[in-house]
Amino acid sequence: MILCSPARTAIMQSDLDLFGRQPQRLATHTVLLPGFVLPRLEALLDALRPVLRAAPFRHMETPGGQAIAVALSNCGDLGWVSDRQGYRYTTHDPLSGAPWPALPALLAQLAHEAAAAAGFDGFHADTCLINHYLPGTRLSLHQDRNERDFSHPIVSISLGLPAVFLLGGQQRGDATQKVPLGHGDVLVWGGDDRLRFHGVQPIKPGEHPRMGSRRINLTLRRAT
C-alpha cells in the first residue's frame, strides 16, 4: 500500500500552471493538478492519433445489455472492456482482434509525473482507458475495481469540454463533492481514496476551440 502522508505530499506554490492555478488537495489522497498536461498538449494529441486509428472509439454494452453512453477505447498492455460477460481487462481489442495499441511513452511519462506531483512516487501505468463524451453524456457513480492491486493510484486527464466530476465516498450513497474539470487538468486519486465512488455529470453543450464538441478523458491505471 502506498502511504502518502499529506506532509510528504506538500503542494508547492511553484507548481502553478500556465494560468497561475494551484494544485488543490480535494481529499487526503486526491489531488487536482490544473492544466498539468497543457505544456505537452500537442505532443499528447499526436500520440493519441495513431492509437485511435488502430482502436477507434466504440460503444460497449453493460453486462445487463445496455449500451454505455460514453464511447471508449484503450491502449497499453491491457484494455478495459465491458460486455455480457462482465467488466474486465483484455490483452486484445475485441473489435479488431489485435492487441491493444501500445501505451505511448509520453502518456506513461505524464502519468508518472502527475502521480509523483500528487504524492505517489514510482507509478507505472500499464493501461489507459480513453473515454469520449458528447454533450449530454454522463457517467454514473462507480468504483474502479477491476484492477489487481488497489495500492496503485489512478491518473485521470481531461481534454476538451469542461465537466463536473463527482467525487463520492466509500459508499454509493455518500455525499459527493462537485469538482470542475477543464481542458488539460489532471486528477489523481489513490491510497485511502482509491475506491471512492465517482462519476461525471452530463456534459453541457459547447464547442472547445481545440477539441470540438466533445470531452475526452484518459484514465491511466496499473491493472496488473
Question: At closest approach, how far in Å is the CB of 92 from ligand SIN?
Answer: 21
CB atoms within 10 A of CB 53: 9
Q: Identify residues 142-201 at the interface with ligand SIN (CB under 6 A).
A: 156, 158, 165, 198, 200
Residue 131 interacts with, from Fe ion, ligand SIN, none (CB under 5-8 Å by kind): ligand SIN
Residues 9, 55, 144, 191: which binds Fe ion (CB under 5 A)? 144
Q: Answer for the pair 152, 221: CB distance below 8 angstroms, yes or no.
A: yes
Between 107 and 136, how does the x/- string for binding to ligand SIN read (CB under 6 A)?
Answer: ------------------------x-----
Question: At closest approach, how far in Å is the CB of 157 from ligand SIN?
Answer: 9
For 156, counting Cβ atoms within 10 Å of its Cβ (0-12 exposed, 13-18 middle, 19+ buried), the class is buried
Longest distance between any two alpha carbons in the chain, whole Å:
48
Question: At closest approach, how far in Å is the CB of 192 from Fe ion?
Answer: 17
For 85, counting Cβ atoms within 10 Å of its Cβ (0-12 exposed, 13-18 middle, 19+ buried), the class is exposed
Q: Nearer to ligand SIN by C-beta: 121 or 182?
A: 182
DSSP string over 144-184: ---SS-TTS-EEEEEEES-EEEEE--SSTTS--EEEEE-TT
Question: At closest approach, how far in Å is the CB of 30 from ligand SIN?
Answer: 13
Residue in the shown chain whose Cβ atom is closest to ligand SIN: 217
Residue 165 interacts with, from Fe ion, ligand SIN, none (CB under 5-8 Å by kind): ligand SIN
Residue 217 interacts with, from ligand SIN, Fe ion, none (CB under 5-8 Å by kind): ligand SIN
Question: Of 8-16, 41-49, 93-101, 136-144, which part binds Fe ion (CB under 5 A)?
Answer: 136-144
Question: At closest approach, how far in Å is the CB of 142 from Fe ion?
Answer: 6
Confirm or reject binding of residue 217 to ligand SIN (CB under 6 A): yes
Confirm or reject binding of residue 137 to ligand SIN (CB under 6 A): no
Confirm or reject binding of residue 100 to ligand SIN (CB under 6 A): no
Q: Answer for the pair 53, 74: CB distance below 8 angstroms, yes or no.
A: no
> Which residues contact Fe ion (rule: CB under 5 A)?
144
> Which residues contact ligand SIN (rule: CB under 6 A)?
131, 139, 156, 158, 165, 198, 200, 217, 219
